[in-house]
Structure 1
Amino acid sequence: MPEALPETTRPRGAFGLRAALAVLGGVLLMALMGMTVTDVIGRYLFNAPLRGATELTELLLAAVVFLGLPAVALADEHVTVDLVTDRMPAAVKPWRGAATGLFSAVVLAVVAWRVWVYAAQIGGYGGTTTTLAIPIAPLGYFCAVCTGFGALLTALVPAHALIRHLKGH
């Protein structure tokens, strides 16, 4: 896997945004952990599981995964496989990064669009979770926005690195 971009090649303000995403992701993970512990203790010690714990786990897990997309894109730490590209000349690396970033951003943008359409369909018929009747559409819109933001960052971060490379920084 190629090295992530050094902090100096990342866009300004990236540290604050990464910190905000990390804090929000940490809060969601802590909520997920606390709910799971409460459910397990309730289930095995008191024979009283937490009502709707499975639904809440699914919703929180989806939120954490999709919240991670912009964080990964901002850090330029997408999972990559270098079978051929590691043998390319170093001068090609920034160009390759920008091209793959643009291609990946287009794919993520299509995913964001389709998730948005799906969330609208769910919202159209009032889809909710089974036990707690939590509306599902808002989570779908959240996932679509996170994916769209991840797509934007997936294109911009490598493009920023290419521009800095061309300027000689």
Structure 2
Amino acid sequence: MRSDPEIDSPPEAPPRGPAGRLAATLSRSFGVLSVLCIVAMLVLTAVNVFGRYFFGAPVRGAEEVVGFLIVATVMFGAAEAHRRDEHIAIDIVQGAFSARMRRLSSVLGHVAVIVFALAIAWTGYETVVFSRSFGVYSPGYLGAPMWVVQIPLVVGGVLLAVVAALKIVAGLRGRT
């Protein structure tokens, strides 16, 4: 049986140190949660479409829940995608660099991810605090407390920043 290098990837190196193992466990766990959000969106959308077109009775608030799940899916899955290097990268540019420049560009990329992730986490935190203090509810059918559905912004942002920081440490130690 022939393997395809585009599909088959080598097994990932196990994370080293307690912080690396904790980050890997958390990012994998939230990655699984992200997949469960996708499954929930699929099931909810299918049930909604079926109910709407066959029974004339859509699931009330389905679109609102799917919107919340989209944000949760992205925020919960971002750290695992980054940890596994499954994000978008420009390999042609990286390939033109020397080994030292590749390492430097990798570190700079991870720093950019940290800045972006912390910006999301901080603004998410401020939004959660504001929504909770003023009792903001979603304007749709559900009337869900917004601070609850905004929590993935904080959790996902912090986890992504931690994973990126650990990738910098691993890269500087020569374990990328």
TM-score (structure 2 length as normaliser): 0.79
Q: State the partner residue of 2:3.
A: none
Query: What is the total number of aligned residue pairs between the two structures?
Result: 163
Which residue in the other structure is 1:39 paired with?
48
Residues 40 and 33 (structure 1), Cα distance of their counterparts in 2 relative to 1, 3 Å cut: same
CA distance in 2, matches of 1:10, 1:32: 32
The match for 1:131 is 141
CA distance change for structure 1 residues 21 and 66 in 2, over 3 Å: closer, same or farther? Answer: same
2:161 paired with 1:156: no
Tell whether the 8 Å contact from 2:75 to 2:153 is kept in structure 1 after alignment.
yes
Tell whether the 8 Å contact from 2:120 to 2:153 is kept in structure 1 after alignment: no
Q: In the TM superposition, what is the alpha-carbon distance from 1:160 to its structure 2 partner? A: 0.7
Aligned equivalents of 1:5, 1:18: Cα separation in 2: 19
Q: Secondary structure at the match of 2:13?
A: helix
**Cα RMSD (Å):** 2.5
Change (3 A) 1:116 1:109: same
Pair 145,160 (structure 1): closer, same or farther in 2 beyond 3 Å: same
* Structure 2: gaps (5+ residues): 1-8
TM-score (norm 1): 0.82
The one of the two structures with greater contact order (alpha-carbon pairs below 8 A, sep at least 6) is 1
Identity between Structure 1 and Structure 2 (%): 25
Deviates more, 1:5-14 or 1:24-33: 5-14
Match of 2:74 in 1: 65
Q: Please identify runs of 4+ aligned residues in structure 1 that moved more than 6 A.
A: none
